[in-house]
A and B are shown apart, each in its own frame.
Chain A
């Protein structure tokens, strides 16, 4: 059985699943709209939590937060279920398919057979949609893929029951109610306000202040832990920044696209200017990634190189702070 479901490739898995599932229910919202309303821009620094042998950085909120926030602000209801028994999880999914409900799943990446080998890490907050079952195989719409794929029962169970940090535990979700009239204006404003609040939060581990903390730590790592460890930490920073589904520069561009759409809906030209501003900041994030890549490619050990990287990141943090302050005033 194959449900009528349109697959659209997106930049980020969670927005993508959300946007594709809502479109299926007749609500057409672009990926940037979901991202903006769901306050997808974020930054958190957890220096004591080691991930992949480096401190924890993240450019995104907790998995699931974007869709949950967007749904709440749009008045949409989502049903979320987890199962302790994998067999029960599969039956529930199959029941959904029989009821003609394309269903979102949280999965681990490590055992996703169709992913390139190099991308298979123990990361458990990836999202995809199951939209049918044919010849014993589940039909998969993974929003970061160009094309749809399929997974056998066993393969799907493996990724739904991946272990480690943030285990999915068979987590499945789907919209159950969509209001006839969505108040887009209000939702956009709420999304923007929340983003500004988070990024300007007066705590050192979140938002602009967390970026500054990371930036100031770069030269300290070099001094205390040596070049090799520092380069690995910086590599982790880029991977978190630009890998599929996370994002520094990439996320700024999605936000730019969101502000551009929002400017039209709210009839607010200032947002259009701010869209250009965040685009320029996104370009700087990408330049920053290139500079880091150059450091370990050329084994560049110029002693002040880490100070320079630190300065560029502090500069970006300053620009972002100014941006969110203006954005807060603009709505």
Chain B
């Protein structure tokens, strides 16, 4: 890519006051580096992925409200996690986490188990317990 063709499309990098470095060629075809503030194609891919995450969060919220899943699933989605990642954070087997995702089982959890989840999500036990999806 030629230096003058390097896209400068304003992107999410701006919020952190960042640019990115790319290797580009100058007028004599020699390599050099240049900074870019973003590129439309990447931005579109990132937005697609975030839209999907938001959809999953919204769906999880509905499911908590309808008593289909426990709040664990909502906060898992909110933190962009999946079951394996969450299981690693709380230090439990995946099947146990999946079990705790059932509203009935969730209600029977001890405070110490709830605390593990709350810590993984960076919230208080009360916030976790009282989330009703409404």
A interface vs B, CB < 8 Å?
9-11, 32, 52-53, 110, 114-122, 144-147, 163-165, 167, 231-232, 235-236, 238-239, 242-244, 249-250, 253-254, 256-257, 260, 275-276, 279, 282-283, 286, 289-290, 292-293, 296-297
Contacts and interface: CB of A to CB of B under 8 A. Distances in A.
B1 A290 contact: no
A159 B22 CA distance: 26
Contact of B20 (A11, A249, A254, A289): A11
Contacts, number: 119
Q: 8 closest A-B pairs (Cβ-Cβ)? A: A163-B88, A257-B31, A164-B85, A253-B23, A293-B44, A293-B41, A238-B45, A235-B48
A279 B23 CA distance: 10
Given A122-B85, A276-B29, A232 B52 contact: yes
Contacts of A244: 20
22 contacts: A9-B35, A115-B16, A118-B15, A118-B46, A122-B85, A146-B17, A146-B19, A146-B35, A163-B88, A163-B89, A164-B88, A235-B44, A235-B48, A239-B49, A242-B42, A242-B45, A253-B23, A256-B31, A286-B41, A293-B40, A293-B42, A296-B48
Contacts of A238: 41-42, 45
B109 interface: no
Contact of A117 (B15, B42, B88): B15
Interface of B: 1, 12-25, 29-31, 33, 35, 39-42, 44-46, 48-50, 52, 79-82, 84-85, 88-89
Interface of A is mostly: helix
Interface centre among A110, A164, A232 (most CB of B within 10 A): A164
Contacts of B39: 242
Contacts of A236: 45, 49
